[in-house]
Structure 1
Amino acid sequence: MFAAIVFALRVAGATALLSLNTIVHVGPLLLVALAKLVVPGRRVRRGLDRMLMAIAGSWIGVNSWMIDHLTTTRIEVSGLPEPDPEGQMLVICNHQSWVDIPILQKLFNRRLPLLRFFLKRQLIWVPLLGLAWWALDFPFMKRHSREQIRRRPELARDDVLATRAACARFRDLPVAIVNFVEGTRFRPARHAAQSSPYRHLLKPRAGGVAFTFDAMGDALERIVDVTIVYPHGRPRLVDLFANRVREVRVAIQSYPVPDWLQSGDYLGDPEFRDRVRDWINTLWQEKDQLYRQLAR
């Protein structure tokens, strides 16, 4: 009974602080975003973009402070890249829990450019956060399942065009585009339904990576490959601020983008498509082995 009361109080307190932090930052975000819409001049708009990223960095910084001071969660990380806040990169990560997102933001805030996630279009209606994501140019996508694309192949071309449009605005900005290659969070039922060949991971989707490079071309300089493991069980987001996440283990590898990956037609060139799939499957085999080591 006492534990349930403590849990409820912690969740209520964390929710109130997170909401207050969001309210404080969303107002300035929207004002700067609206100014960016109406103010002419590329140089001025670039300055406003940097203001937006600074506000977002402050918002993430407060959330990270809460993790540091209101929880006893231990984050064990290896391979943290050198600071590169002006770079352009693709962050590849396995997807275990919604906790992945605040952990990634905490590790990379002000070290790498602002992380941008591809979001489902419906999320734009999330109170306050939807407006914040819009102001920060987070790409909102209408994602199509493999079954839908199999029935209507033209939808794959829609995905490519939407990715190109979303990424076009990032070509002249520092950016770290996050791709959860599995497409969804790990669940044992999903793992079984896929007959995944990986013990700890879902099957990767090569198309998202290929479409991002198709849109960004040679603008992306490197890949930051992240493996996240929760050795005591995959938590819910509420568990993090309820202080129920004992430990998070993160391994990071950073390397230049392979030259061949920066140019190719994933939809129209079967040979290139097979090469991308082979590359991502090999990467996932290595990640599965690394996951096993980190989980011990």
Structure 2
Amino acid sequence: MLFKLPLFLRLPMAALAILLNTVAHTTPLFVVALLKWLVPVRGFRRFCDRILIGLAESWIARNGQLIALFTPTRIEVEGVDGLRRDGHYLVLANHQSWVDIPVLQHTFNRRIPFLRFFLKSQLIWVPLLGLAWWALDFPFMKRYTKSELARKPELAGKDMEATRKACEKFRGLPVSIMNFVEGTRFTKEKHARQSSPFAHLLKPKAGGVAFVIGAMGDSLQGIVDVAIAYPQGKPTMMDLMAGRIGCVRVSVRSREIPPEFIDGDYENDRAYRVRFQQWMNLLWQEKDAELRRLVTPAGAKG
């Protein structure tokens, strides 16, 4: 395989192959997205959506094949049986590295509806990818700093309102909404600063999950709970492309959404908010234990 080539040859070859694959898929994707925007007919736009998703899934599949061709990394996945491509899922995962994205895409591409992430608004300016994410209806969220909110209090809640609007758009089509519940990538410094009670996780931010469930709860078929573990330590994208990741382990659990959380008011009902946070903390305790299992070498004790 090509991952046995010297790094100085393999790395530029891999980068070029992924770039060409991206251009080959985003070019027709932009054309279809433009047609969808120009023709405001619901049936035609739904037809365009199917083409766009097909292009995106093909793009992801080819990228996965290229990663397998140029790197020795093995992605071991358990627990994906029973998932459906025509469902509505909320996908909750821990977040350590940008490598999480291709790992999640490898795990779920063509197994569940196309994954959509909530993205920072600045990412729309990423060459090729920003427009592609826009064309695929990824929700862009604008985050406000504490100083901005202090100057303009009316901005408070704007991000949650954007979440609600995005979820309303997704109600009528199969979708998988991806949420990195920690809100940021795990680092030892952040873990210490939070005094996190979990060994492998930052504290969960329950608000975003509650808003998605509140907006889509009656149409969501359940939660897909994902634990991503790197037994050799947290990697970078360069580690992946340089072939320095031997194994990634992914554990998937399907969970039901407790009925009492579907119609709750996380913002204004304090009792509901406390119960929801307790439930999220329980999920995080279980995920922490699952990550401990995934990173423990076979046969090791403790």
Residue aligning to 1:169: 169
Paired residue secondary structure (1:289): helix
Q: Deviations over 1:201-250 (max 9, x none)?
A: 11110011011122224121110000000000111012112111100011
Query: Partners in 1 of 2:198 and 2:150 — Cα distance?
Result: 24
> Is 1:62 the counterpart of 2:62 in the alignment?
yes
Distance 1:156 1:235 in 2: 35
Kept in 1: contact 2:90–2:223 (CA 8 A): yes
Displacement after TM superposition at 1:60 (Å):
0.2
1:26 aligns with 2:34: no
Equivalent residue number for residue 134 of structure 1: 134
CA displacement 1:4-51 (0-9 Å, x = unmatched): x93343322221111111111111111111111122322221111111
Conserved? CA contact 2:10–2:70, under 8 Å: no
Contact 2:99 2:240 survives alignment (8 Å): yes
For 1:257 and 1:36, the matched residues in 2 are separated by: 34
State the AA in 2 paired with 1:107.
T
Q: Secondary structure at the match of 2:248?
A: strand
- 1:82–1:111 contact (8 Å) kept in structure 2: no
Q: Structure 2 matches for 1:230-249, cutoff 5 A?
A: 230-249=230-249
Check the 8 A contact 1:81/1:254 in 2, yes or no: no
Task: From the superposition, tell whether residues 150 and 232 of structure 1 become closer, same or farther in structure 2 (CA, over 3 Å).
Answer: farther
- Identity between Structure 1 and Structure 2 (%): 55
Residue 47 of structure 2: aligned partner: 47
Aligned length: 292
CA RMSD after TM alignment: 1.9
CA shift for structure 1 position 279: 0.6
- In structure 2, distance between residues paired with 1:8 and 1:121: 35
Question: Distance between the aligned counterparts of 1:150 and 1:217, measured in 2?
Answer: 32
Deviations 1:166-202 (A, max 9, x none): 2221111111000000011111111111111111111
2:257 equivalent in structure 1 = 257
Unaligned 5+ runs, structure 1: none
Residue 290 of structure 1 deviates from its aligned partner by 1.1
Q: How much has 1:145 moved relative to structure 2?
A: 5.9
Aligned position for 2:212: 212
The aligned amino acid for 2:123 is: L
Name the aligned partner's letter for residue 78 of structure 1. Answer: E
Alpha-carbon deviation of 1:72? 1.3
Please give the secondary structure, in 2, of the residue aligned with 1:225. strand
TM-score (norm 2): 0.91
**CA shift for structure 1 position 156:** 4.3
Counterpart secondary structure, 1:218? coil
Instruction: Output the amino acid matched with 1:73.
Output: T
- State how far apart, in whole Å, the 2-side matches of 1:97 and 1:8 are: 24
CA distance in 1, matches of 2:17, 2:270: 51
**CA–CA distance in structure 1, aligned partners of residues 100 and 24 of structure 2:** 24
Tell me the CA shift for residue 107 of structure 1: 1.1
Following the alignment from structure 1 to structure 2, what is the Cα–Cα distance between the partners of residues 146 and 181? 20
Q: CA deviation at 1:68?
A: 2.2
Counterpart of 1:88 in structure 2 is 88
Structure 2: which 5+ runs fail to align? 297-302
Q: Report how far residue 286 of structure 1 moved.
A: 1.0
* SS of equivalent residue, structure 2 residue 84: coil
Match of 1:109 in 2: 109
TM-score, structure 1 normalization: 0.93
CA distance in 2, matches of 1:214, 1:151: 29
Contact 1:11–1:238 (Cα < 8 Å) also in 2:
no
Provide the C-alpha distance between the structure 1 equivalents of 2:128 and 2:195, rounded to a whole number of angstroms: 39
Write the distance in 2 (CA, Å) between the matches of 1:147 and 1:238.
Answer: 35
Question: What residue number does 1:229 align with?
Answer: 229
**How far apart are 1:256 and its partner, in Å?**
2.3
Q: Distance between the aligned counterparts of 1:292 and 1:216, measured in 2?
A: 32
Q: 1:138 is matched by which residue type in structure 2? A: F
Cα distance in 1 for residues equivalent to 2:262 and 2:146: 24
